[in-house]
Structure 1
């Protein structure tokens, strides 16, 4: 009987041991299905961190060295000067520009109101002396500087009788309505009964195309005339001898006496000849003399 009991005890012990081994094997199979991270295990209680490429490049409140800082208002470029007047312009403002330049010795002729090469050269001279860009154009900076250095021109400065002194009138000019034109003084005087109403600078034809001398009369007026021979504008033309006329010349306004006409009497002040054109009538006398 004792042996039987011992055998049963042994059987029960072996059964218990087998059961324990089964529990261990079951636990091992269960844990083997769980994914294991490839990196080292984080310490207990440590918060999971984002991968490196998800982290901001700089710490909180501190910009990254590669970040571009915003442009400050003071670093913005100032606006470029705006052009107010340039070659080819005609206006009272151009006349004022010329009068102001003449006040300080940068323009050596009577204001014409036409912005030609002579005016551009005068503006460049002014700009160069004030260390401004020598463009020859009158921009906002140049104009403000000129205004600060000069005074408002008088009516006589804006519309002088003529740059050159008016010549003593020829005896033929002393009666009636006469365009009295002196080659010697290079002036035209508009006279009525011996009184000079207005005067202006003029230039004549070259030695190859001279302006005729003598007594004539205006036989045709053409406000917007264009030469059929030279295809050039002859505004405010007043014809007195064949194809020769008194008319405005933008070339004269721009270049002065460095040029010449093809026989006509050129006037460089457009405002003055416009006024003269309105007063002169067909039949009025024209006297051209030395």
Structure 2
């Protein structure tokens, strides 16, 4: 009887050891099954919390110390970034105010075909009273500022995208005659440097030459200038020498009644200018198309007289 009890007790101990080993932890490398005894080893089943449904279960917390799931969820719920009150207020600026300033398309000193078109369009709406020259000087700047003021744009005198779009919207594409009219150009206001002495006063913007003595205009005529590749120089010069008949040693073209003022650049008659008008350009000289007027001025001008070429 005693021997049997000992054997029975040994079998009971062995069975209990096997059961305890199986329920201690999940198998290495395998996830614990939700809601099984493996999740609550060593605790009464009545202490185990029910597992929430999968769609409502909060995300598992990161490894290491930190707030509990409940605390993290609460912090997320009241985070300032998620609060409607913390959303940035909508901007009260208009779309035009928010736009950055546009880069200028045309400004003083430019000499291009687009400037010629600008002048022709400004003339259509009564802001430019001269023939287009293609040169952006003080007169063009004032005309642009006048147009901008009329259209409630900043009167900068410089053409940006907004100014150009407004002008194009209210004008038509200039015709050939509008871009290069054959009419005589109106004299520009004399440059201050032309107001004393004997001066050939040449304006690039109005495309005119005025022969002046002590501030009085003695004669005036239309002129044209060099192209972008061979521009006519600006500044104050003197007539260095004169030739009634001359042929260019570089271009082999006739240059009657030449008055040289800056190297090879001269005021002279141009048969091409007389025939084609502003459809052509010189190689840097000041071309005159009225032969009669130039012959008269040529006879009066002396070597040493000043030549002022300005905007």
TM-score (norm 2): 0.41
Between the two structures, name the one with larger relative contact order (CA 8 Å, sep ≥ 6): 1
Decide which structure has greater strand share.
1
| Bigger radius of gyration among the two | 1
TM-score (norm 1): 0.44
